[in-house]
Structure 1
């Protein structure tokens, strides 16, 4: 399957084909119902991919202040498993929207380039569905969306 994901990089229209394939591959591993990619550039972030754009649309850049989630994932560069609704509430101000979608568990994987977090892969599923085994399986894929994150940075900085 990894070779199939790597082959997707050669398809035209990047990064969407890769992001779609990555969303599907991680869904097969975790059973997630929402997959997003969050681009990071300094203190600014932007959602550049969403498997549910009606609920979580792709958005422009915005400043992100310090949070416990940001400290863990962005500053400390550590993957994070949020297995239940209490953990979701701890991490995200929009937890009510997450709950309304029937979701109550999350995995966040920092994606690094040159020692810096350039984005995160985020998978959300019903409460109790995601485990450490899922986190360990998907964190090996963290390098795949890096080219898309760097392209987003270049695109946004060129404007």
Structure 2
């Protein structure tokens, strides 16, 4: 179970960040300590244009900031967008099933993922995506990450 002190630490770090980049760096640092990861990204969903835009990445060599990709359809999108629930993939094959760009992820050692929706006004406006080694995440870690993701909502709705 996530401690109130961890939630407080994220709230303080986010509220004291000078800009969006600093806030994402702070969020990544706290979640890295809590869950560990190889790759941490944040995507904002633009339903009008049908794309997801990367707002942050700790590995810009693999997933550059500003990059876009189409908002997918299918079970992953149903879960994240329609149901506003987390997606947890535990194996390399899970990455292949949901990401068309899985090969660069495999190349840096990613074998599991938790995609956590960022929801505002009952609509998924983005996601925090954390990828790590084999079977690194589960429903418990994803539900804990949901708290941090919701704390980052202003980063997805407020212009930088």
Under TM normalisation by the shorter chain, which class is it? 0.7 to 0.9
Q: Deviations over 1:33-70 (max 9, x none)?
A: 11100001213210100011111111255542423311
Partner of 1:102: 109
1:28 and 2:40 aligned: no
Q: Which moved more, 1:125-134 or 1:49-58?
A: 125-134
Gaps of 5+ in 1: none
Partner SS for 1:134: helix
Gaps spanning 5+ residues in structure 2: where? 1-5
Q: Distance in 2 between matches of 1:9 and 1:28?
A: 16
Q: Classify 1:146/1:51 alpha carbon distance in 2 versus 1 (closer, same or farther; 3 Å).
A: same
Give the number of equivalent residue pairs: 153
Deviates more, 1:39-48 or 1:117-126: 39-48
Residues in 2 aligned to 1:30 and 1:73: alpha-carbon distance in whole angstroms = 20
> 2:100 matched to 1:93?
yes
Aligned with 1:74 (options 76, 81, 103) = 81
Query: Cα gap change, 1:52/1:116 in structure 2, threshold over 3 Å: closer, same or farther?
Result: same
Q: Are 1:109 and 1:139, in contact at CA under 8 Å, matched by a contact in 2? A: yes
TM, length-normalised to structure 1: 0.87
Deviating more after overlay: 126-135 vs 29-38: 126-135
1:10 and 1:132 map into 2 onto residues whose CA distance is 28
What TM-score comes out, normalization by structure 2 length? 0.86
Deviates more, 1:19-28 or 1:103-112: 19-28
